[in-house]
Amino acid sequence: MIASDILKKILLIFIYTIAFAFKQGILQTSPQIMKTLTITRPDDWHVHVRNSAILKTVLPHTARQFARAIIMPNLKPPVTTVDQALTYRDEILAAVPMGVDFTPLMTLYLTAATTEADIKKAAESEYIHAFKLYPAGATTHSDLGVADIVAAYPLFAAMEKHQIPLLIHGEVTDADCDIFDRERMFIDRYLTNIIKHFPDLRVVLEHVTTAEAVQFVESTSTNVAATITPQHLLYNRNALFVGGIRPHHYCLPVLKREQHRLALVKAATSGNPKFFLGTDSAPHLTNLKESSCGCAGCFSAPIALELYAEAFEAANALDKLEGFASFYGADFYRLPRNTDTITLEKTSWDVAASYGDNGISITPLKANETICWQVQ
């Protein structure tokens, strides 16, 4: 009896001592179990990796996260033939870090000089996955793009026949069209007709930025899909002018109003397979962005998946990230889904101020800012 009373007292003293130690901070609870998210390895269905020294700086970032990527052909000069694309593909493969598994999916730049024979040849190549239509003057290196879209109809017919997708930068270029209306106008003036004339043509409306584009894509057949960038999910146009002009938030199509951002978030997190990941990571040298006439394009490759995770988490839809990032694009391009996985960890870290060496400096999106997810 007496022995058990003594034992009880010892136990109480022990509990009080432990409680006191916690209160004083002498003892601490074990750190919270790390929140992680593992998904099938994603692909990037729209990326600019440039060439030469910039390619070597940026490509490893894309290859680290994504198994495959649709490589945009807007080099100077543009990639217009299968042979040029194969040379460019070799240059890209040479920039993949040792031990990293990455497959570039090549595209050709549509010009007034493209022929139906070029389209047949491209469709027959296992390395070419699409043609890219840049309306002439719409964006970076688009001066050789298509000036007369209706004149390109025979080429669209050939793509439809040979079953090769058409990727579209959907903005009109008329100088008198308000820059915030260019995408909506393109849909009304051109895209609606293209879809009507070529119902079996597979079309990706690239980097959609408006509620109208979302609504249009939703209302069309399964042959029409869209990519969505991280910046258009995270920012509205106010981000261009926070405390001064913000060149690293400038890309084309330009950021839009909050109502459009919300429509994009809803589309991306809806589980609708018509919407999939395309970063549009578009590196430019820092001095060419921070200039009196700064280039359009956000360099997001080093933190791309992290940014999508942030946007999906904010919408309470992390469970929808895998379909958007890793399944729907592959399905649309009729390629097998990846089988390996990637893990993201919920942890704060600071994005670098810039990337590159030997005279190359490229400022990423969110430079010097803290972000909350990290690819392991």
Residues 46-75 that bind ligand NCD (CB under 6 A): 48, 74
H/E/C letters for each residue in 97-151? CCCCCCEEEEEEECCCCCCHHHHHHHHHCCCEEEEEECECCCCCCCCCCECCCHH
The helix (run of H) or strand (run of E) holding residue 68 is strand 68-71
Which amino acid is present at 369?
A: E
Euclidean distance between CA atoms 363 and 353, whole angstroms: 6
Backbone angles phi, psi at 130, to 5 degrees: -175, 165
CB of 169 to ligand NCD, least distance (A): 5
Closest CA to 303 of 53, 48, 62: 62
239 binds ligand NCD (CB under 6 A): no
Please say which residue, 116 or 294, places its beta carbon nearer to ligand NCD.
294
Asked whether the CA dihedral 375, 93, 121, 168 is positive or negative, the reply is: positive
Residue 212 near which of Zn ion, ligand NCD, none (CB within 5-8 Å, type-dependent): none
The yes or no reply on residue 171 touching Zn ion (CB under 5 A) is: no
DSSP summary character for residue 70: E
Interaction pattern, residues 71-100, with ligand NCD; x per rule: CB under 6 A? ---x--------------------------
Report the nearest approach of Zn ion to the CB of residue 151 (Å).
23
State which residue, 55 or 251, has the beta carbon closest to ligand NCD.
Answer: 251
How far is Cα 253 from Cα 135, in angstroms, rounded to an integer? 12
140 contact choice in Zn ion, ligand NCD, none (CB below 5 to 8 Å, kind-dependent): ligand NCD
Contact status: 252 vs ligand NCD (CB under 6 A): yes
Would you say 239 or 296 has its CB closer to ligand NCD?
Answer: 296
280, 306, 310, 322: which one binds Zn ion (CB under 5 A): 280
Q: Which residues, 303 to 332, sit near Zn ion by CB under 5 A?
A: none
Listed residue (209, 279, 265) closest to 234, CA to CA: 265
For the chain, how are helix, strand and coil distributed in percent, rounded to 5?
40, 15, 40
Options 43, 44, 118, 280, the catalytic residue: 280
Q: Does residue 280 carry a catalytic annotation?
A: yes
Asked whether position 297 contacts ligand NCD by CB under 6 A, the answer is: yes
Rounded least distance, CB 47 to ligand NCD, Å: 9
| Residues binding ligand NCD (CB under 6 A) | 48, 74, 139-140, 169, 251-252, 280, 282, 296-297
Residues in contact with Zn ion by CB under 5 A are 280
* Active site members: 280
